[in-house]
Structure 1
Amino acid sequence: WKRRRFLSGSALAASGAATLALVGCGDDDDDDDTDGDGNGGGSSPTATAVSTPTATPEADVVKRGGHLNLMQGAIRSLDPHFDTWPTCSNFGTNVYNALIKFSPDFTEIQTDMATSLPEQPDELTYTLNIHDNITWQDVDPANGRKLTAEDVKWSIERQMTDEAGKFQHAYFFLGAVDSIEAPDDTTVTFKMSKPYAPMMSYLA
């Protein structure tokens, strides 16, 4: 926009200069000295002032920080396994971490607590390694202890229930995950009962 604005001003200036040239070069058919003073008797062309284009000021520098206030209904639960309602999910993503996560524009899956994206030696196996320096918040019941693969295993198995209405995320894994293994503190392996395309997105 700025560039077009500046070029527009330049075009106007060029147009004004062309107008002046036409006025200065116009043919004077009256060559006689009508008033006998030897100056031709014609009036001199008057120059037209041409405005100088001014550069458009630079846009304001983006100011980061501050607060965004939103109005919405009451939150039903902060349990990340309980509710798939967007309001609760939005709060959850600002409070809890996951093994992997979506990029801000939701175009790719990135690592979060996992050191890399899952290894898939076959279509029924997902193996992830978690960072060994992650700790829980320093409150009961975890009291700041180190996160382990057993915690990840428990978290997913907790959701795999057919108890009606208990966890709305149950359908993510129930009937799809056959078993979860934690062979050491930083490795967790998911064994699937069938090829399951949405597994990566559900872990995120």
Structure 2
Amino acid sequence: MKEKILEKATDLFLNLGFKSVTMDDLANEMGISKKTIYAHFENKTRLVEESTMHLFFLISHGIDHISALKKNPIEELYEIKKFVMLHLKNEKSSPQYQLQKYYPKIYETLRDKQYEVMQDCVKDNVKRGIELGIYRENLNIDFVSRIYFSGAISIKDYRLFPVNTFPIAKLQDYFLEYHLRGIVTPKGRKILNSIINSNQE
């Protein structure tokens, strides 16, 4: 039952926001009593914490799986983006902003964990891209991985990038293209252009 509550809560939080969803909403949605929820989660903060970590580990595991396939590094980044967007339900409710505002400690913990995962993933991606001659040789890998993380966090700030001007899926595409155009070689640019063109068909 705990797993079911966690999955439904995560789904509601992503679609409606961490602040908006109450324990009553969750109980009604699942057709169970609040008492049943409290038997597994002592309060809403605990539920939010476990939901965010549940989603984080699910996505991290998926990213590890994609990385293990050792695809072309440019294709790999697009595969990861697609996978993450699928699990975040296109982030209709700016969950990252709500988490930061109403549950700052959970947000900080999550961000630290995201940083660790993304650093390893992006550094590996850049190293392989350089080896294959599709990323520039003179890149500072540590700088590229940090600036990528910084940008990935910043585009989730809807005050900077309001959803009505920058729909989430489009914004992710803009960001990924911006990142890649800065690091590809002419050989890499051909691969990038073909991926962008095939995504627009």
Q: Into which bin does the TM-score normalised by the smaller protein fall?
A: under 0.3
The structure that is strand-richer by fraction is: 1
Q: TM-score, normalised by structure 2?
A: 0.22
Which of 1 and 2 has greater Rg? 1
